[in-house]
Amino acid sequence: MSPVAGFHRNLPGHPEGLPDLPFAWLEGPLEVRLDWTPEDWKDLNRWPAGRIFGEAGEYRWQRTGSSVHAVLLLEDGALPAPFSGKVELRSRDESALVLWGEWIDPERDPDGNTDHKPLFYAQEIPEPQLYPLERNPEKGETPRLRIRSYVDAAGERGEFVRCVGIFLKKDEGEDDG
């Protein structure tokens, strides 16, 4: 099977039958969060918009008034009910977006990262970001959001882009000395 996308407007809430996806990009009235998928991701009052994603696919939503507009893209398989508007896709390429911030190294700043977690700080963001990474970075590595793009197999609807995962990568041209 090939990748497929579908959508549904005016849902009363999140549909059943979604795949288990490990990562979440959640948007609330007073907070934004990129994390492992938390238990409360379905709380539309706290998270009226967002996406959960992983290798298997991506589910995105936005609450509009009292209903939810949702899009589901799966790498392989049939779309669950109630998704309609099925679009067959063809994978195009994969790339990475560098995420904000520098790692707060607990060796250099023990008060700033007391739990020794993948905690990053950027002046542009008012609070440190805890990224869902398997390990802390090594020298010269930065967190990246892996994204994949697709085109409509029929060539009629343009390009689709989705989040796939989060990883660490050594910066190109980083001096090791």
The domain spans of the chain are 4-89
Q: How far apart are CA 80 and CA 6, in angstroms?
A: 9
Q: How far apart are CA 143 and CA 152, in angstroms?
A: 30
Whether the CB-CB separation of 84 and 6 falls below 8 Å is answered with yes
Under the banding of pLDDT at 50, 70 and 90, the label for residue 173 is low
> What SS3 state is found at 96?
strand
Q: What pTM did the predictor assign? A: 0.89
Q: How far apart are CA 3 and CA 39, in angstroms?
A: 27
> What SS3 state is found at 141?
strand
| pLDDT recorded at residue 68 | 97
Phi, psi of 159 (to 5 degrees): -110, 145
Q: How far apart are CA 13 and CA 71, in angstroms?
A: 13
List of E strands, 78-140: 84-98, 102-103, 119-121, 129-130
Q: How would you classify the pairing of strands 49-54 and 57-64?
A: antiparallel
Under the banding of pLDDT at 50, 70 and 90, the label for residue 97 is very high
How do residues 11-24 score in pLDDT, each as one tens digit? 999 999 999 999 99
Average pLDDT over residues 33-37: 95
Handedness of CA 73, 97, 69, 48 (dihedral sign): positive
Q: How far is CA 98 from the centre of its chain?
A: 13
| pLDDT recorded at residue 155 | 80
- 12, exposed or middle or buried, with CB in 10 Å at 0-12, 13-18, 19+? exposed
